[in-house]
Structure 1
Amino acid sequence: MGVQIEVDQLTMRYGDVTAVDGISFTVAPGEFFGLLGPNGAGKTTTLETIEGLRSPTNGRVSVAGRDPARREPDLQRRIGVQLQSSAFFERLTAVEQLQTFGAIYGVPAARLDELLEQVGLTEKATAQVEDLSGGQKQRLSIACALVHDPDVVFLDEPTAALDPQARRNLWDVLRGINDSGRTVVLTTHYMEEAEELCDRVAIVDHGRLLELDTPGALIRKLDAATRIGLAAEAIALEDARGLPGAESVRLDGSGLVIQTREPATVLAELGRREALEGLSVSKGTLEDVFLDLTGREYRA
């Protein structure tokens, strides 16, 4: 498949602080790649170095075979960046914002109409930015990053602070960007989002790469227990604890949660006892992987 992005032993130091410590990975053309980590893990610094906004202390970064830190115009035209915090020009409408960005690259007006439609803002074209919702502003920010039709798109926490509906709507936009053939690199704190969207994810902490694989492979590697939920009246707590294959049983609100690595055995026994009321079954998630690797302690 080739390599669109290569990061080789990337190190970033600020005085005595090592923000990124020898990270290496590659991203293939057309891949949706996730960069995950707790606050202060080094993911945004890594992303900004790939974008050419920072020069590495040591190591090498290349995008399409070129050094992004050199800020070559030809390479910059191939990169679209949506930053963690986007600032818009005051008192301009959504389409005027796009026109301003598009003028830098000589983008025709028809392209701007296509972008507004792509991100679902056609009806808000003449609305001033301050009148847009949080989700609409994020979609406009992504449209600005796409205005020059880049090959590689960097998205730094694009759904942060959005409500669940706005987040899900934005997922459709991000899928569409990737489905059009673009390479997408995403940072996010939402593990469900990364599991849903990304082909592969890299999990970093304290500036180091901990794991790199597909979400499914990482979940299987964790070998997390299956969680079986039941209505509290389905089976007595002590009876549930005596089920063959049950590792732990606890009350959770108005129900029971059984954890097991032998779900077929537990479910068969529950079925034999006709104790399946309120049944739900869930396996490990990328969030379980993330917490297993990075810990559960509070991060400021």
Structure 2
Amino acid sequence: MDIRAIKIFNHLAHSLHFGRSSRACNLTPSALTRTIQRIEEELGTPLFRRGNRSVTLTPAGEIFKQYAEETEQRWQTLQRELADDETLRGEISLYCSVTAATSILPRILGAFRQAHPSVQIKLQTGDAAEALDKLKNREAEVTIAALPEQLPPSVVFVELAQTPLVFIEPADSIKSMPGGESGIDWRRIPVILAERGLSRVRIDRWFKEKEIQPNIYAEVAGNEALLAMVSLGLGVGVVPQLVLEKSPLKDRVRVFVVEPDLTPFTIGACTLEKYLTHPVIGAFWATVLQEQSSES
């Protein structure tokens, strides 16, 4: 088996999801399946149990996983040792929202590229609520995300920015929402919520603490989708202020005041602690820390 097959196995062994691994490895599902089957044929034993809705490692798969991870690490070490100079080479995979890609990452990427021009950067954007899952499933090595209320012990986090969570309504509403404890009839006003993520946790808690049963019109994935629906007059919603400020739809919605304020977001870079020993990821993390200290 070759090193690419090893890398493909490693990704699937962590994601335990053929669809996610095929997309991350730029393979069709059938090509991914064939790769795993070839490894299993070489070893003479199944490595995965495939159910209708789940994938798990067999005992042999757990043993091979340790071997495969060590092999990939040794391969990376060999590539560095065979290089004819001390230039840092390799690649790093990043994941963040579109807003983070345009507002937070540019200064970090600029400094990193200047210091390490031979490193290939792979950047994927999407729903910020998926950032930690991307890290866990090895679909990204560094993510930009809001600090969760409970940070997994294996994840390290560096704060880069803070932003309030704000309620928004369509800008062309005839009358702005009244504020105060009892000024809004939430039974009548349609509310658009994020399907998941920290903003959903905090708005659900806010409604619960005020003993409000909201009139939920829709649940959407991503702040951009939520902003679009509010701008069309379909309801009100909650987004991070940073997202609102960077959105092309910012003039089509407006903020209204609620009491008490929602707990703001702390946004930062996340990676797994074990990744910091990798030279490329370690160098990127050093850049993150440098940029953080220069901003503070």
- The reply to whether TM is greater than 0.5 is no
Alignment TM-score, normalising by the size of structure 2:
0.28
Higher helix fraction: Structure 1 or Structure 2?
Answer: 2
Alignment TM-score, normalising by the size of structure 1:
0.27
